[in-house]
Structure 1
């Protein structure tokens, strides 16, 4: 049975192959489709990308170590019908030793131009599940009203004493994808 996480809660993973699914439903009537993008920032002990290629997103769908791979970009959020809109597959046995954590984010593409924010998105969540059996391990539903934020750090996988753990984060940012890139580069 999956664990329903609260912000800041941490769990042990105990698996080597996991998938991280992000889902959301855009509110109707904003005039534009909502294009939310899932990304992964693979960070070293200094909380920075070892190299730009360790930033996995729609223009770089696989990390250089082959550990993190995106399944592609859902341009409207309408492909899922209640399920995951975008997924990142993670093989923890392949993660480069210099990478200590992987932050999973969602950002709104062209948010400023389209006057969109996470306050206009509902049913947002991140879930982590067994890649082989599809059994859900944990889920974190974003229940805060991010009325000015255009980027959210949903959760992270991190190493602790040789084991991988997962933490629900739920941290909003105003500057979209570029603000996160600036933070972790």
Structure 2
């Protein structure tokens, strides 16, 4: 049974799924009912930012997103961009092979940002039922889920959803849920430079 994470909670993936090697990170959301603001073409994009042990990004190739669908190591694959968020379940999925992640990468930060939020005047208050979940690819079992949405994200255009990180030679997951004001992924990546 999946663990429903709270903001800031961390779990050991080794403890929850011994022998875990490959995971799917699913991200989903729905567009909230219009409140007079423009929700037309509300496009959310999921990404993974690969960081070193100091929490820094050392190469733009270490960002996996709709414009760079796979990491050069073959360890991370983004399965494509969903422009609408329509439908049930995951809107975007990212596959991570933990055994192939280069040793210089210590942390994978999963983000979601609104595409062109400034020009479209859109923010996360226009999003509902947002979640990130982690699934064990060997048995399709959901390991953990973090649900977020709400008014506390009004004005926020990006979200640091969760992270998978190495600690004492094992992988852990943390629910972050921090909103950021960013004009796209580039601004979020700069915060890790």
For Structure 1 versus Structure 2, the TM-score category normalised by the shorter chain is: over 0.9
**Counterparts of 2:165 and 2:39 in 1: how far apart (Å)?**
39
Distance 1:150 1:43 in 2: 22
Given the alignment, which residue of 41, 50, 61 partners 2:58? 50
More moved, 82-91 vs 28-37? 28-37
> Paired residues, what number?
183
Provide the residue aligned with 2:125 in structure 1: 119
> SS state of the match for residue 113, structure 1?
helix
List aligned pairs for 1:68-107, cutoff 5 A: 68-78=76-86, 81-107=87-113
* 1:20 Cα offset (Å): 0.5
CA distance in 1, matches of 2:24, 2:72: 18
Please, which runs of 5 or more residues in structure 1 have no aligned partner? Answer: none
Retained in 2: the 8 A contact 1:50–1:99? no
Of 65, 74, 84, 2:73 maps to 65
Distance apart, 1:54 and its partner CA = 0.8
> 1:5 aligns to what?
5
Could you tell me which runs of 5 or more consecutive residues in structure 2 were left unpaired when the two chains were aligned: 15-19
Cα separation, partners in 2 of 1:169 and 1:12, compared to 1, 3 Å: same
Q: CA deviation at 1:59?
A: 0.5
> Over aligned residue pairs, what C-alpha RMSD do you find?
1.1
